[in-house]
Structure 1
Amino acid sequence: MAGIETSEDSQTGDRRGRSSLAGNATDKALNLLEAAAAPGYPHRLGDVAASAGVPKASAHRILQNLVATGFLASDGSGSYGPGPRIRALAARITQGCEEDQVMRAELEVLGRRIGHTVQVGVRTGDAITLLVKVSGPNPVQDSSRVGMQLPLHTTAIGKCVLAGLDDEQLDSLVGRLGLPPRTENSLTDLTELRAALATVREQGFALDDEENELGVRCLAVPIRDTKGSVIGAVNVSTIAFLETREALLNWVGFARTTADALHGLLG
């Protein structure tokens, strides 16, 4: 593309199974493909089947077909990972993708303004997947990486997404996944989570105060699609002993500007 106009330019001028989604053959195949290609591959058949919410016998049959067609690869001992066709597809999607360039450009602007690590994450099934990350200048960094999947209830991005659900949708999700802790600060009680999500709706942003990773404090502002539904968030990640909770709140306006710039970009 010839050039990207960013918000700066304009201003200056567990249970991870998805059984409820694995109804038809297409859903099962896609869920299995996603589970097998998740970070940490190769994954054993039982783990892939459980993560995708597909019975093991059906999973084995579908996985064998995905291997035969080149979308997955098998290591010969019952474990699976991405194959050449899915790697080629990923390369075609991301290479020169205008949406990715826009997201990265906007995050680079935000990162320069606030001097911290910034990310964009979106909901994928029952988790948050990080799409873009721009690391800050501090030598101490969080453990996040592009492609990593994170829980909904322990992350600031995830809370933004959950705040966009109605009570029935939230109850269904928690009934499926539970609220397992990631740290001693994680919200594991549904009543407490509801109260936190009400605050997110009222304030328009979410906080993760060492709830997903000890020593890491995050702020996130929702990203919406063209219909106005929350699909993810812009996230500011800080090291707790270097940045206070009060200082982190200073970046809400800048994060909101970036989220507004990405409105409708992903659907």
Structure 2
Amino acid sequence: MAGIETSADSQTDARGGRSSLAGNATDKALNLLEAASAPGYPHRLGDVAAAAGVPKASAHRILQNLVVTGFLASDGNGGYGPGPRIRALAARITQGCEEDQVMRAELEVLGRRIGHTVHMGVRTGDVVTLLVKVAGPNPVQDSSRVGMQLPLHTTAIGKCVLAGLDDGQLASLVGRVGLPPRTENSVTDPAELRAELAKVHERGFALDDEENEIGVRCLAVPVHDAKGVVIGAVNVSTIAFLETREALLSRVDLVRTTADALHGLLG
């Protein structure tokens, strides 16, 4: 996949905009592979290119190469989705993966203790991706699913990640993706977000109070890699009318115990 980028592509990137952040040829190919494999496929060329931040002409050439090599599949009508090689790779990674087994086992214990849905999510680019979900016993559930990608600034998991960034990294990210609202409760002001992230950093957990989905309130505690960098978080998801904010906050120590158990697990 290397060597696909042309001088014309480089000139296009140099003009600025989101495409200038796409990186080298390998970065572009990986970003396009991720965008085309996102839930809801098949995805149109323009949508994949925009999501990956790659110029459309360059995206088309790279996508065609990914189809030829079997990493992506084309539906014949201009849509793209995961191909047989990426599906096989995903199966090889997840089947019998010790890390996945540990994460699920820890989350299942947490879920039994608190009686609510729990997740493990990580930062992937400029979004959160849910890796594991253990559904709670309540008949009313949130809309989450494994593989779902969510904004960083409206989710408790995402706020844990953002609180681990320095000022420059945070400003760069906000400049790229903005702070679009998901609900009327979403934080959309950069100064307000910085103030909230300072609290997250200080107290060691984050709260999503119906900011990403109306009726859903979440609490998350960060998970670190072996170097101490926040890569994601363990999240508890509750239905707002079934559990109060105060009751959810009382669970933080249990969530922290689980997050600590996953320290260094993913690198």
Q: State whether TM-score is above 0.5.
A: yes
In structure 2, stretches of 5+ residues that fail to align are 1-16
Matched residues, percent identical? 88
Q: Higher relative CO (CA 8 A, sep ≥ 6), structure 1 or 2?
A: 1
Number of equivalences: 251
Q: How does 1:176-191 map to 2 (within 5 A)?
A: 176-191=176-191
2:163 is aligned to 163
| SS of residue in 2 equivalent to 1:207 | strand
Runs of 4+ aligned residues of structure 1 deviating over 6 Å after TM superposition are none
Q: Take 1:211 and 1:181, find their aligned partners in 2: how far apart are those partners?
A: 8
1:97 aligns with 2:87: no
Q: How does 1:107-146 map to 2 (within 5 A)?
A: 107-146=107-146
The change in CA–CA distance for 1:78 and 1:215 in structure 2 (over 3 A counts) is: same
Offset at residue 19 of structure 1 (A): 3.8
Q: Take 1:22 and 1:70, find their aligned partners in 2: how far apart are those partners?
A: 23
| SS of residue in 2 equivalent to 1:212 | coil
Q: Take 1:224 and 1:171, find their aligned partners in 2: how far apart are those partners?
A: 22
Q: Take 2:117 and 2:51, find their aligned partners in 1: how far apart are those partners?
A: 30
Q: Take 1:161 and 1:219, find their aligned partners in 2: how far apart are those partners?
A: 13
In structure 2, give the amino acid aligned to 1:96: G
Q: Take 2:101 and 2:120, find their aligned partners in 1: how far apart are those partners?
A: 12
| SS of residue in 2 equivalent to 1:254 | helix
Q: Take 1:87 and 1:19, find their aligned partners in 2: how far apart are those partners?
A: 27
The change in CA–CA distance for 1:20 and 1:200 in structure 2 (over 3 A counts) is: farther
What TM-score, normalized by structure 1, do the two folds share?
A: 0.93
1:251 aligns with 2:232: no
In structure 2, give the amino acid aligned to 1:195: A
Taking only aligned residues, the RMSD between alpha carbons, in angstroms, comes to 1.0
| SS of residue in 1 equivalent to 2:132 | strand
In structure 2, give the amino acid aligned to 1:154: T
Q: Take 1:138 and 1:76, find their aligned partners in 2: how far apart are those partners?
A: 42
In structure 1, stretches of 5+ residues that fail to align are 1-16
| SS of residue in 1 equivalent to 2:195 | helix
The change in CA–CA distance for 1:94 and 1:251 in structure 2 (over 3 A counts) is: same
What TM-score, normalized by structure 2, do the two folds share?
A: 0.93
Offset at residue 20 of structure 1 (A): 5.4
Q: Take 2:235 and 2:260, find their aligned partners in 1: how far apart are those partners?
A: 13
| SS of residue in 2 equivalent to 1:101 | helix
Q: Take 2:100 and 2:83, find their aligned partners in 1: how far apart are those partners?
A: 23
- Asked if structure 2 preserves the Cα contact closer than 8 Å seen for 1:122 and 1:233, the reply is yes
The change in CA–CA distance for 1:169 and 1:37 in structure 2 (over 3 A counts) is: same
